[in-house]
Amino acid sequence: MATVTTASGANLSSMKVEVPGMSEQTAAPKQPWSIQDSERLFGIREWGDGYFAVNGEGHLVVMPERDPKRQIDLHEVIEGLREREIGTPVIIRLRDLLKHRLTEIREAFDNAIKEHQYTGSYCCVYPIKVNQQRQLCEEVRDYGSALGFGLEAGSKPELLAVLGLTENLPNMPVVCNGFKDSEFIETVILATKLGRHIIPVVERFTDLELIVHHAKRYGVRPRIGIRAKPSSQGSGRWESSGGMRSKFGLTVSEMLHALEFLKKHDMADCLNMIHFHIGSQVGDIRNIKAAVNELAHIYVELKKLGAGLDTIDVGGGMGIDYDGSQSDSPSSVNYGVAEYAADIVYRIKSVCDTAELPHPRILSESGRAMVAHSSLLIVDVLGKTNFPSDPDMPALKKLMKEEKQKPQPIIELVDAFEMLDQPKVNLVEVYHDAVQARDEAMSLFNLGYMSLRMRASAERLFWAIGRKVLALATAKGELPDDLIDLPQVLSDIYYVNFSVFQSLPDHWAIDQLFPICPIHRLNEEPIRRAILADITCDSDGQVDKFCDKRTTSKPVLELHELNYNNGDHKPQPYYLGMFLLGAYQEVLGDLHNLYGDTHVVHVSFDDSPGVGDWDLDEVVEGDTVKEVLSYVQYDHEDLIKSMRRDIERAVKAGTMSVGDGQSLLKFYDQGMEGYTYLE
Ligand SMILES: Cc1ncc(COP(=O)(O)O)c(C=O)c1O
């Protein structure tokens, strides 16, 4: 049995309950809905980590510096963007929040260093693969250089980007991970000659041979890093990034061989750094502690053997509490930045103290922790479908009278529906009967023995039974295992103007959860329960798993009823925010159905006199249709020409007027310049 809780997290046994997608059967709440109820329901305090809250108007606000006096109202931003003709979906990047994250990491390590009397230094390098967008990387570089941070490149294009980004910053550390060819290493060696603080990391022994070869050729003494394959593994989705079978790194015996090789070439002093990466989003701090401990021991042993080591790079892994559960679930972490920093500093210090060696510089490649919070996506809801809860008995009875032979499954469904009014009804039994009767109705229809009207009645009755069963079960405060899927089966489908494949690729690919909630109307109770369907023609293009701080995930999201102006098919604007998207999502997104990059705006807090507490610093327009077509090798001019030829043929044949042809051509032409999403 699963215990059922209300929208506000209260136990159900004592009160009238809200049933997924059943607003019409819900009694008015005893207490008026408050913004605190919304904060609790959506776990905003938990995943928001002090950066997000709800204001008195029921709007979601960002506090980029965790200062309640400095808030940006997201609904106000969206309205402001609309006035400037920048529609949704739109990514909002918050540069003040980014700066705050970087500063928080810096301060966490500074505090740990002070507390443990650690004599080495700390530097965080940003792996640009986490999000290579130029504007973001430039902000990380600018804020980071003031904090003594660096950058990391994992491929040839990334290396070239990083070298360009660090012009005039010779002291900014640049770590080079990933597969390398001779050209890559030659570039690194020449960059060292240029005076850059660049550290190529040996992932395979052949990298070392190339480094030595090019270093000698150009007369350079490079800083060399070696990636270790520790036996300790991370936890969660990326645990195979570490451990003995990991794709990258050198085993201990290969590292010993590497040191001998360097000694032979009189370059042991160049082996400056030992590195590992046990995976991204490591949920359990114990895995980090174990791996750092092992790496520190490898460090002291290699140093004792004559390596010129002075730096330990603990790689990435610092995770984000996406679901707000503060647990080691795949979308959460059971530690914070301060604990992460303290454990790393303490472990390295104790191992080095025991070995009586100086404390090394510590590097971490905490890309996700740096940037995840600073980007969010706002999307608009286009409409919804929901399943009826009223079987419409009068209409059904009339229809049945017209049937020569009354279909048995319909009779059984009516019986099941009426049975639910009896006081000691067995809900599971009634539901099983309804499922069987519905399946039989479908078979009869498929064999040609049931009319379309009767089939529609069977479906309607089935939904009504499901809803009533769920309402009764929920009122009892528990959901039998056989009914566990009902909330999802009966939920509404809200159609949302975005592509999961472009904007939430990790949700589609690896079931990663991201916080999602409305950015306005948070002072109203969200009485619908829904899943979200995107606008791609793909059944995978939906979100049907949502963050829940209590159970870590839930199958439906609580949303508000859509409002319509009289006679309108389009609902009044209803916006949802998708949060903590700064890491990986923007760059992993793909062009499924040719939905391209969304618009991106850079927003910062501004409390100078004027309208609103925010500034629009930069607008990066999303892809146009013409652009995405060119990515798949279409020339938009060729397309327009072929359209024109077809229209001319239709005009000649008399099936289209010249005016209509011109209109079609105009739409076609304008469409090429337009946004790939619905406008
Ligand atoms: C070598 C390396 N360093 C750093 C990172 C970034 O890690 P995180 O996502 O934990 O910030 C990665 C990502 O997987 C990586 O492969």
- Does ligand 1 have an atom closer than 6 angstroms to the CB of 277? yes
Query: How far are the Cα atoms of 280, 323, 429, 507, 594 from residue 333, in angstroms, in the given order?
Result: 11, 9, 41, 18, 35
Rounded Cα distance, 299 and 384, in Å:
58
Confidence tier at 17 by pLDDT (50, 70, 90): very low
Rounded Cα distance, 479 and 472, in Å:
10
Nearest CA to ligand 1 atom 12: 316
Domains in the chain, number: 3
Q: Is residue 38 part of a domain?
A: no
Greatest Cα-to-Cα distance within the chain, rounded to the nearest angstrom? 99
Given ligand 1 and candidates 275, 277, 506, which is best to mutate, with the most ligand atoms within 8 Å of its CB? 277
- Does ligand 1 have an atom closer than 6 angstroms to the CB of 127? yes
CB environment 138-168: b (16+ within 10 A), e (fewer)? ebbbebbbebebbbbbbbbebbebbbebbee
Instruction: Give me the domain span that covers residue 413.
Output: 393-487
For residue 148, report the distance from its CA to the centre of ligand 1, in Å. Answer: 19
For residue 188, report the distance from its CA to the centre of ligand 1, in Å. Answer: 20
| CB-based contact 8:40 (threshold 8 Å) | yes
For residue 280, report the distance from its CA to the centre of ligand 1, in Å. Answer: 5
Give yes or no: residues 367 and 468 share one domain.
no
Q: Is residue 318 part of a domain?
A: yes
Q: Is residue 335 part of a domain?
A: yes
Q: Is residue 267 part of a domain?
A: yes
For residue 96, report the distance from its CA to the centre of ligand 1, in Å. Answer: 23
Angle between helical axes of 182-193 and 205-218 (0-180°, round to 10): 40
For residue 71, report the distance from its CA to the centre of ligand 1, in Å. Answer: 31
pTM of this structure: 0.90
Give yes or no: residues 354 and 426 share one domain.
no
For residue 246, report the distance from its CA to the centre of ligand 1, in Å. Answer: 14
Instruction: With a cut of 80, say whether residue 1 has pLDDT above it.
Output: no
Tokens of 552: 């870590």
DSSP assignment, residue 172? S
- Does ligand 1 have an atom closer than 6 angstroms to the CB of 101? no
Give yes or no: residues 369 and 404 share one domain.
no
Q: Name beta bridge partners: 282.
A: 318
| CB-based contact 99:51 (threshold 8 Å) | no
Give yes or no: residues 288 and 164 share one domain.
yes
**CATH number of the domain to which 253 belongs:** 3.20.20.10
- Does ligand 1 have an atom closer than 6 angstroms to the CB of 366? yes
- Does ligand 1 have an atom closer than 6 angstroms to the CB of 275? no
Looking at ligand 1, which atom is closest to the CA of residue 177? 1
- Does ligand 1 have an atom closer than 6 angstroms to the CB of 249? no
For residue 433, report the distance from its CA to the centre of ligand 1, in Å. Answer: 52
Q: What is the mean pLDDT of the segment spanning 574-603?
A: 95
For residue 176, report the distance from its CA to the centre of ligand 1, in Å. Answer: 12
For residue 585, report the distance from its CA to the centre of ligand 1, in Å. Answer: 14
Nearest CA to ligand 1 atom 4: 316
Given ligand 1 and candidates 180, 280, 295, which is best to mutate, with the most ligand atoms within 8 Å of its CB? 280
For residue 314, report the distance from its CA to the centre of ligand 1, in Å. Answer: 10
Please tell me the least confidently modeled range out of 348-352, 478-482, 665-669, 674-678: 478-482
Looking at ligand 1, which atom is closest to the CA of residue 583? 9
pLDDT in tens, 607-619: 787 667 899 999 9
Coil, strand, or helix at residue 302?
helix
Give yes or no: residues 200 and 112 share one domain.
yes
pLDDT score for 525: 95
Number of neighbours of residue 34 by Cβ within 10 angstroms: 15
- Pairing of β 375-385 and β 492-496: antiparallel
pLDDT score for 401: 87
**Strand stretches in 145-242, DSSP E:** 150-153, 174-176, 198-202, 224-227
Query: How far are the Cα atoms of 504, 506, 535, 674 from residue 595, in angstroms, in the given order?
Result: 13, 17, 9, 12
| CB-based contact 296:344 (threshold 8 Å) | no
Give yes or no: residues 295 and 349 share one domain.
yes
pLDDT in tens, 136-158: 999 999 999 999 999 999 999 99
Beta carbons within 8 Å of 83's beta carbon, 6+ residues apart? none
- Alpha carbon 62 to its chain centroid, in Å, reads 18
- Does ligand 1 have an atom closer than 6 angstroms to the CB of 222? no
For residue 240, report the distance from its CA to the centre of ligand 1, in Å. Answer: 13
pLDDT score for 566: 87
Instruction: With a cut of 90, say whether residue 20 has pLDDT above it.
Output: no
Residue at which a domain ends, from 456, 487, 518: 487
Rounded Cα distance, 319 and 329, in Å:
11
Q: Is residue 620 part of a domain?
A: no
Instruction: With a cut of 80, say whether residue 18 has pLDDT above it.
Output: no
- Percent of the chain whose predicted confidence (pLDDT) is above 70: 93
Given ligand 1 and candidates 129, 240, 320, 364, which is best to mutate, with the most ligand atoms within 8 Å of its CB? 129
Rounded Cα distance, 436 and 110, in Å:
65
- Tokens 């059943």 sit at which residue? 22
DSSP assignment, residue 42? T
Looking at ligand 1, which atom is closest to the CA of residue 282? 10
Q: Is residue 576 part of a domain?
A: no
Confidence tier at 241 by pLDDT (50, 70, 90): low
For residue 247, report the distance from its CA to the centre of ligand 1, in Å. Answer: 14
Looking at ligand 1, which atom is closest to the CA of residue 281? 10
**Strand stretches in 259-305, DSSP E:** 271-275
- Does ligand 1 have an atom closer than 6 angstroms to the CB of 506? no
Give yes or no: residues 364 and 483 share one domain.
no
Nearest CA to ligand 1 atom 14: 280
Question: ∠ at Cα 503 (500, 504), nearest 5°?
Answer: 60
Looking at ligand 1, which atom is closest to the CA of residue 238? 14
For residue 196, report the distance from its CA to the centre of ligand 1, in Å. Answer: 22
Rounded Cα distance, 468 and 475, in Å:
10
Beta carbons within 8 Å of 218's beta carbon, 6+ residues apart? 189, 190, 193
Give yes or no: residues 369 and 400 share one domain.
no
Cis peptide before 89 (omega within 30 of 0): yes
For residue 501, report the distance from its CA to the centre of ligand 1, in Å. Answer: 22
pLDDT score for 611: 65
Give yes or no: residues 407 and 357 share one domain.
no
pLDDT in tens, 305-344: 999 999 999 999 999 999 999 998 999 999 999 999 999 9
Number of neighbours of residue 256 by Cβ within 10 angstroms: 14
Coil, strand, or helix at residue 17?
coil
pLDDT score for 607: 76
Given ligand 1 and candidates 365, 506, 585, which is best to mutate, with the most ligand atoms within 8 Å of its CB? 365
Q: Is residue 261 part of a domain?
A: yes
Looking at ligand 1, which atom is closest to the CA of residue 368? 11
Find, among 510, 591, 71, the residue nearest to 280 by Cα. 510
For residue 596, report the distance from its CA to the centre of ligand 1, in Å. Answer: 26
Coil, strand, or helix at residue 615?
strand
Number of neighbours of residue 195 by Cβ within 10 angstroms: 9
Given ligand 1 and candidates 130, 140, 176, 585, which is best to mutate, with the most ligand atoms within 8 Å of its CB? 130
Mean pLDDT across the chain, nearest whole number? 91
Rounded Cα distance, 523 and 58, in Å:
5
**CATH number of the domain to which 406 belongs:** 1.20.58.930
Looking at ligand 1, which atom is closest to the CA of residue 366? 11
Confidence tier at 90 by pLDDT (50, 70, 90): very high
Give yes or no: residues 346 and 224 share one domain.
yes
Instruction: With a cut of 90, say whether residue 362 has pLDDT above it.
Output: yes
Nearest CA to ligand 1 atom 5: 316
Find, among 586, 571, 593, 597, the residue nearest to 514 by Cα. 586
Angle between helical axes of 452-476 and 408-419 (0-180°, round to 10): 20
- Does ligand 1 have an atom closer than 6 angstroms to the CB of 316? yes
Looking at ligand 1, which atom is closest to the CA of residue 367? 11
Nearest CA to ligand 1 atom 15: 316
- Does ligand 1 have an atom closer than 6 angstroms to the CB of 503? no
Give yes or no: residues 360 and 297 share one domain.
yes
Residue at which a domain ends, from 487, 510, 545: 487
Q: What is the mean pLDDT of the segment spanning 75-82?
A: 97
Rounded Cα distance, 312 and 364, in Å:
8
For residue 316, report the distance from its CA to the centre of ligand 1, in Å. Answer: 4
Selected residue with higher pLDDT from 564 and 479: 564
Give yes or no: residues 193 and 304 share one domain.
yes
Nearest CA to ligand 1 atom 1: 277
Residue at which a domain ends, from 347, 375, 403: 375
Looking at ligand 1, which atom is closest to the CA of residue 275? 1
Rounded Cα distance, 201 and 239, in Å:
21
Confidence tier at 230 by pLDDT (50, 70, 90): confident
- Does ligand 1 have an atom closer than 6 angstroms to the CB of 317? yes
Q: Is residue 293 part of a domain?
A: yes
- Does ligand 1 have an atom closer than 6 angstroms to the CB of 368? yes
Rounded Cα distance, 369 and 335, in Å:
12
- Alpha carbon 25 to its chain centroid, in Å, reads 34
